Amino acid sequence: MPRVALVTGSTSGIGLAIADALAGSGCNVVINSFTDRPEDHELARDIARKNGVEAIYVRADMAKGEDCRALVASAAARFGSVDILVNNAGIQHVAPVEDFPVARWDAILAINLSSSFHTIAAALPLMRKAGWGRIVNIASAHGLVASPYKAAYVAAKHGVLGLTKTAALEVATSGITCNAICPGYVLTPLVEAQIPDQMKAHGMDRETVIREVMLERQPTGQFVTVEQIGSTALWLCSEAASQVNGTHISVDGGWTAQ
């Protein structure tokens, strides 16, 4: 039986690359976002065609606990279980603490942290029943170190690492592992879209913005690629990683070595 993989926030960027990598290894895949556009369903069909697996899109708003739990239930209803859960959905907002909009704080904590609590809680009974499972939480370099003006994001990503360790201890004898990936700067559509604004704001060309504004903290001076995060997630889901539990893998070009 093919494994069943559910990746939250996976119509773009890192989540899409992870879904594609897991499908490439033979998993049936559930992709998700909150939009429910025709192109979201088309993406699932593309993944299925390209990899010779089954793939569906399920709309669920990761800001809402009941949607998170319903997403896991939908995946299990369609494919029988959830073997691999990748908590990837995430948003960002940048502002000083004293000006940070309360609604943005609440949304970031809900989408970037609480959603993982809900999906893990809903998926664990299925994994325990199967006697096998993999949970991969997409944290960030900001799960380990801070940057100014990102209070909610940094707090949520630090929380993700705490949740990862706690869940890992609870599942340790069940054939299940729970780990996190901490990416540095990844060139996703979201990041790409910021470059023109940064060029304008700083009066710099594209290369200077990338080097001096975006990658100034990443010692390799290069973006991480979405495929590199996809491969890391795939490895964490392999048998080779069955004794890797309750930890994180940094894929950050040396950012957090400093």
109 scored as a contact of ligand NAD (CB under 6 A) = no
Torsion sign over Cα 44, 50, 51, 52: positive
Taking contact as CB under 6 A, which single stretch among the options 50-58, 61-69, 119-127, 203-211 is the one that binds ligand NAD? 61-69
Count CB neighbours of 17 within 10 A: 23
Taking contact as CB under 6 A, which single stretch among the options 47-55, 184-192, 203-211, 238-246 is the one that binds ligand NAD? 184-192
CB of 70 to ligand NAD, least distance (A): 12
Q: Binding ligand NAD by CB under 6 A: which of 74, 116, 140, 245?
A: 140
Taking contact as CB under 6 A, which single stretch among the options 10-18, 72-80, 168-176, 192-200 is the one that binds ligand NAD? 10-18
253 scored as a contact of ligand NAD (CB under 6 A) = no
177 scored as a contact of ligand NAD (CB under 6 A) = no
Q: Which is nearer to ligand NAD, 15 or 246 (CB)?
A: 15
**What phi and psi values does residue 86 have, to the nearest 5 degrees?**
-115, 115
For this structure, is 149 an active site residue? Answer: no
Q: Looking only at residues 193 through 252 of this chain, which bind ligand NAD when binding is defined by CB under 6 A? A: none
For residue 105, give both structure tokens.
């704080």
34 scored as a contact of ligand NAD (CB under 6 A) = yes
Between strands 55-59 and 28-33, the pairing is parallel
185 scored as a contact of ligand NAD (CB under 6 A) = yes
Q: Looking only at residues 66 through 95 of this chain, which bind ligand NAD when binding is defined by CB under 6 A? A: 88-91
160 scored as a contact of ligand NAD (CB under 6 A) = no
190 scored as a contact of ligand NAD (CB under 6 A) = yes
CB of 140 to ligand NAD, least distance (A): 4
CB of 104 to ligand NAD, least distance (A): 13
CB of 128 to ligand NAD, least distance (A): 26
Catalytic residues: 153
Binding site for ligand NAD (CB under 6 A): 9-15, 32-34, 61-63, 88-91, 111-112, 138, 140, 183, 185-186, 188-191
